[in-house]
Amino acid sequence: MEIQIAAAKINKYAVSESGDTLEVVERPNGGVSVVLADGQSSGRGAKAVSMMVVRKVIGLLAEGVRDGAAARAASDALYTEKGGKVSSTLNIASLDMHTKSIVLTRNNPAPVLIAHDDEVKPLEGESKPIGTQRTLRPLIDEMPITTGLTIAFFTDGLVYAGDRRGKPMDAQSLLSELLKDKTMTAQSIADSLLASAIDLDEGRPTDDCSVVVLKVVSLAGDSVRRMNVRLPINLG
């Protein structure tokens, strides 16, 4: 099998720094984790918050701490640091090679979409951002790694895309439509979801927007691990 993990990310229009932070890290016992946080508001302050949350989580995951405990620790740390006044969303998706499962941990009201082939459903349960309450628990779902499984999650920039213009995003239908084409890679799905959000915002995203897609496919290629980052920069 091959696991494809793809992210696509754009900043709020005319803001140079994204408030979203996303990292993909190796787990000590094999597998990888994707960690995505969206700090409250936008720009530099939001970035500092989401970076702090992601750092906390990946530091703990690296020590072998389980995802749920890492999310709680990040919540407590943010609460303590900011006196309960600043919130952040948090999503963790982990490939656990011991249990041969994917573990999805979230403190984010935005849906997490799970697809088996092109049948898409959001995970159940109401999930709240971390940072404003001491007693917050993440929602945790676990599912076996199986061919045909696709998972998509995102920050609220995607959820509210088009909202102001009265044409809200329907990520679930769009994902189902995209998955009818079996050749779509995780990257092309993430790109399409983000492009659709940008379109709905008429090319000027009203918020930072990050999309993560995981896809499990039967292995077509070699046994090489690959990672690829494309970073548009403006040195002006």
Residue numbers at the binding site for a second copy (CB under 8 A): 1-11, 17-18, 21-26, 28, 30, 32, 51, 55, 59, 62, 95, 97, 100, 145, 186-187, 190-191, 194, 219, 221-235
* Cross-strand partners of 212: 7, 153
Helix (H) or strand (E) holding 34: strand 32-39
Helix (H) or strand (E) holding 56: helix 44-62
| Closer by beta carbon to a second copy, 17 or else 118 | 17
| Closer by beta carbon to a second copy, 24 or else 123 | 24
Residue 146 CB, nearest approach to a second copy (Å): 9
Residue 155 CB, nearest approach to a second copy (Å): 13
The C-alpha atoms of residue 66 and residue 69 are separated, in whole angstroms, by 6
Residue 97 CB, nearest approach to a second copy (Å): 7
Residue 151 CB, nearest approach to a second copy (Å): 14
Q: Which of 91, 85, 231, 58 is nearest to 159 (CA)?
A: 91
| Closer by beta carbon to a second copy, 108 or else 210 | 210
| Closer by beta carbon to a second copy, 99 or else 133 | 99
Could you tell me which residues come within 8 angstroms of residue 14 by beta carbon, excluding any fewer than 6 positions away? 204
Look-up of token digits 């079996």? 182
Residue 170 CB, nearest approach to a second copy (Å): 21
| Closer by beta carbon to a second copy, 182 or else 233 | 233
Distances (CA, A) of 219 to 2, 103, 113, 143: 5, 21, 23, 20
